[in-house]
Amino acid sequence: MALSEETVREELKKVIDPELFINIVDLGLVYEIDLLPRDDGRTDVKIEMTMTSPMCPAGPQLIGGCKHVVSDMEGVGEVDVKVVLDPPWGPDKMTEDARDQLGIF
């Protein structure tokens, strides 16, 4: 399978928020994914994401999970995860399925 933003997003669904038990993509925590091809045929992946709160205790675990699952993808070189707080996260960023799981209507 070719490396694309969509395949990276699908892989990031393996990273589960340990407090809410929902993946970070459906929670709306992943804002941007950039793929940067290298001369050696590999592709560096840059991810911009946020947390549900600025002092999220699961932050290091989520960042590590992102790096781990994306690094294991075929053709991936370096993985850089940057946490941004603007725009701030809110329940409106979640998918409908995630809101249903949390009982937010």
Asked, for residue 101, whether it belongs to a domain, the answer is no
Task: Give the residue, 105 or 46, on which the prediction is more confident.
Answer: 46
Residue 17 CB neighbours (<10 A): 20
The pLDDT of residue 102 is 87
* Structural Rg of the chain based on CA atoms: 14
Helices (H), the chain: 5-12, 59-71, 96-102
* Structural domain boundaries enclosing 53: 5-90
Q: What confidence tens digit (pLDDT) does each residue in 25-41 have?
A: 999 999 999 999 999 99
Q: What is the CATH number of the domain that holds 67?
A: 3.30.300.130
Give CA–CA dist 88/8, Å, rounded.
22
Percentage above 70 pLDDT, the chain: 98
- Domains contained in the chain, number: 1
**Strand (E) positions, 1-105?**
30-37, 43-49, 76-83
Q: Which two tokens stand for residue 13?
A: 């669904």
Q: What is the pTM of this model?
A: 0.92
* Euclidean distance between CA atoms 52 and 3, whole angstroms: 28
In a domain, 16, yes or no: yes
Q: Is residue 103 part of a domain?
A: no
**Does residue 105 fall inside a structural domain?**
no
User: Has residue 95 been placed in a domain?
Assistant: no
